[in-house]
Amino acid sequence: MYKIQANASGTRSIEVSEEHLQTIEKYALLKDLIDSNGFIDEGVLDKLKFNVRSILESQETGDKALLDLCLDVIYNANMKAFGLHQLVLCYIAWKEKTESN
């Protein structure tokens, strides 16, 4: 289990599980998400939410892992642009760790 900081002051956090990270990888949710300017803002978070919603609507049966990711992380009340940035960093670190094993 990983814990990401959800705001700059560190008073809010979101727990991210190994399954959440695997789901992000499975659906390539972070691929081409960030614009060429490299900034993660609320627009990028909205783009992620729209992409996930589109995936869920296109499936006949909902993927439980994707639904869990939405409920626990992406649509978490604490999730803002800062938290998404931390999620991206967490995913990169996790990916590097899993590839080295």
Find the mean pLDDT for residues 51-74.
92
Q: What is the pLDDT of residue 88?
A: 97
Where helices occur in 1-101 by DSSP H, the ranges are 18-27, 42-58, 64-69, 81-100
Q: What is the pLDDT of residue 48?
A: 97
Find the mean pLDDT for residues 7-31.
96
CA distances from 15 to 5, 34, 84 (A): 9, 22, 12
What is the chain's length? Answer: 101
pLDDT digits (tens, 9 = 90+) for 70-80: 999 999 999 99
Q: Does 101 score more than 80 pLDDT?
A: no
Q: What is the pLDDT of residue 59?
A: 85
